[in-house]
Amino acid sequence: MTFALIENGFLSLISSAIPASTVVVLAALGCLVGERVGVLNLGQEGLIGIGGVYAVIAVVTWGVGSPWVALAIGMAAAGIAGLMFAVAVVVFRASQVLVGLALALGGIGLSNQLGTNRNGVQVRTQFSEFSLGGSLVDGGVREALFAHDPMVYVAYVLLPLTLWFILFRTRHGMNMRAVGENPAAADAVGVSVTWSRIGYSVLGAAISGAGGAYMVLSFTPTWSPDIARGRGWVALAVVIFAGWRPVRAVFGALLYGTMFSLGLTAQARGWGFLFNATDLAFFLSMLPFLVTLAAILLPAGAAKIGKRVRSTAAPAALAIPYSREER
């Protein structure tokens, strides 16, 4: 009986953690795409908000009836914001840190302003769940792992595996990594550093915007101010935690979703331990941030004592502007 309760509790936790992590998975993969070509975009928090609010506008105001079309509109809006960011930092060589922070704060402010009259409005156009596995897997396992909406499978399987294949198994991916590691060498063999950085910054921003659109089209189908609520910052840390590897980023994001869901479960079930249920929920909500902070500090400490592992190192040209005239 006890084992059954533990198993049911674990499966219930995973079932809620997977959709809770999907936003962070998308934002982290979007961030990773840009950073692989040397562009540091700290604006993930704002991009999630922009993608979310434009998906809401598409459904509530424009009457879009397809969640895929609403998702595309949210991604397009975030992509335009990413284009403005890319032009500023790649063409005009502005500080990537400052422009990224401006994008984060500006995106939050813009999304909150556009969503002012839509607070609490129910988004009725949503992604529908469908179940995979059939009779091949146990009912509880099927509900936990194979009963989600299609965006979950895109975020957890299709997108990271596609990025992994492109990055590490194609010539194009080798060129991408070269732009992030040594842009002068990439330029010398005919790879356009400027267009690569602009193009992948826009693509990364659009993927991050898909995270915000997913929130309002599936995870929490309603609009509320500050919808990202720290997920964009977590995504930035997840990329470091993952060593700039797409598949690893999925597991880093799942850690966030698990801790987030564990806090809600603790509060709902009245778990106490050393705290009351509410305090325990807040404590568990802190854990993803503490773990990702540790993940940032540990590689830095290892580097100082000469034990830096190359597979966890950032792209060498990350956040460094490039100009052909200064080669």
Q: Which CATH number characterizes residue 168's domain? A: 1.10.3470
Position 257 scores a pLDDT of 79
Q: What is the pLDDT of residue 53?
A: 96
- Which of 238, 318, 227 lies closest to 26, judged by CA? 238
Angle at which helix 231-241 crosses helix 246-269, to 10 degrees, equals: 130
Q: How many domains does the chain have?
A: 1
Lowest mean pLDDT among 89-103, 200-214, 284-298: 284-298
HEC string for the chain: CHHHHHHHHHHHHHHHHHHHHHHHHHHHHHHHHHHHCCCCCCCHHHHHHHHHHHHHHHHHHCCCCCHHHHHHHHHHHHHHHHHHHHHHHHHCCCCHHHHHHHHHHHHHHHHHHHCHHHCCCECCCCCCCEECCHHHCCHHHHHHHCEECHHHHHHHHHHHHHHHHHHHHCHHHHHHHHHHHCHHHHHHCCCCHHHHHHHHHHHHHHHHHHHHHHHHHHHCCECCCCCCCCHHHHHHHHHHHCCCCHHHHHHHHHHHHHHHHHHHHHHHHCCCCCCCHHHHHHHHHHHHHHHHHHHHHHHHHHHHCCCCCHHHCCCCCCCCCCCHHHC
Which of these, 120, 100, 126, 133, lies nearest to 30 by C-alpha position? 100
Would residue 320 be called left, alpha or beta, if left means φ above 0 and alpha means ψ between -120 and 50 degrees? beta
% of the chain with per-residue pLDDT over 90: 56
* Amino acid at site 74: G
Distance CA 104, CA 210 (A): 16
Per the model's pLDDT, the better-predicted residue between 308 and 268 turns out to be: 268
Alpha-carbon distance of 55 to 263, in angstroms, equals 28
pLDDT: which is higher, 290 or 39: 39
52-66, 79-93, 238-252, 278-292, range with the lowest pLDDT: 278-292
> What pLDDT does 302 receive?
45
Q: Which residue has the higher pLDDT, 228 or 142?
A: 228
pLDDT of residue 3: 47
Domain around 181 = 2-126+133-326
pLDDT digit string, tens, across residues 212-226: 999 999 988 999 999
Residue 94's pLDDT band, with cuts at 50, 70 and 90, is very high
Instruction: Return the bridge partners of 122, or none.
Output: 222
Encoded tokens for 164: 């992994």
The pTM (predicted TM-score) of the whole model is 0.89
pLDDT of 274 higher than 60 = no
Q: What is the pLDDT of residue 13?
A: 74
pLDDT attached to residue 262: 72
**Considering only CA atoms, which of 248, 82, 279 is closest in space to residue 156?**
248
Please say if the pLDDT value at position 278 is more than 90: no
pLDDT greater than 50 at residue 5: no
| More confident position, 240 or 203 | 203
Say what the pLDDT of residue 266 is: 62
Residues in CB range of 75: below 8 A, 6 or more apart: 51, 206, 207, 209, 210, 213
In contact, 18 and 257? CB cutoff 8 Å: yes
Distance from the first to the final alpha carbon of the chain: 69
